[in-house]
Amino acid sequence: MKHLHFGAGSLGLGLICPLSAKAGNDVFVFNRRSEKEKNVILSQSHRYKLRRHNSTETEEVKISGFLDYNQIDDFLHYLREESEPILITTALKEYGLNDSLSEIHKILSGVSAKKYLIACENSISSDELFSMVQERFPEIAHEENNIQVVNSVVDRICNKIKIDRQQNIVLPVEDFGRWYIEGQHDDLNALFSTFLNDNCMAVTCHDIDLQKQRKKIMVNAVHQSIALLTHYRGMTRSGTETRVKEFMLPSVLASEVFVMA
């Protein structure tokens, strides 16, 4: 299966793309044109590394291509020959999605194969993403354009992308990871039998709203509380990453914990 992912941030590269690539999909990452060092390296090497917290070992992730939005039209010629279903995912907040709607529409309307559309940014559901596309391009429709919109929830802490001395892109991630996908979809079965490690996987879910509420209460609220505590204790911050080291009782935090601040 061809997998087109929009967004080259930590979440997409840290959970969505690795799971899909390990499932055997051809993963193509699309991003706004940029001369950032990370983007230049990805466009040339098509690979990067994941490093789990509290570990020095890394796992290489290989993608099939890293392209900017200006290359969508040429890529469409390649996709039009595709008969197998195509997976389209996004990991962009609303302001980033607004810049990519035209490109997403080109694929949804220009390719006849079945297309799965999944938004992987928890603040925007897949239904809301499709509504954004329809608002700008009213002619697009589920059945006429062979589109299946699938809601999902993602859960993994992925920290700031780094570049090491050997010009490798390294992305620190936590061990735990879940990509909850609503409903049963035979075309996506390979994803559900794929594990990045024993505690990182994609799973089917019958009530995505319940999973979203669970994450808000049990995960986001805890992370926010720890971030506030570290600020109160005067811990230092670097970028979006706060390192917390045994600021609570050792029985609560026995080792370093990374939280998003």
How many domains are there within the chain?
A: 2
Calculate mean pLDDT across residues 170-191.
Answer: 94
**123 and 161: one domain?**
yes
87-95 average pLDDT score: 94
Cα(88)–Cα(98) distance, rounded to whole angstroms? Answer: 16
Torsion of Cα atoms, 137 then 143 then 145 then 148, to 10°: 90
Contact between 244 and 235 (Cβ < 8 Å): yes
172 and 224 both lie in a single domain: no
Residues 80, 141: one domain?
yes
* Measured torsion, CA atoms of residues 115, 19, 122, 124, in degrees rounded to the nearest 10: -20
Residues 147 and 242 placed together within one structural domain of the fold: no
Higher pLDDT, residue 128 or 209: 128
| Domain identity same for 108 and 221 | no
Q: What is the pLDDT of residue 252?
A: 38
What CATH number is given to the structural domain containing 140? 3.40.50.720
**Confidence (pLDDT) at 39:** 94
Q: Which two tokens stand for residue 239?
A: 């970028």
Q: Are residues 113 and 193 in the same domain?
A: yes
What are the tokens at 46? Answer: 């098509």
Same domain, yes or no: 49 and 136: yes
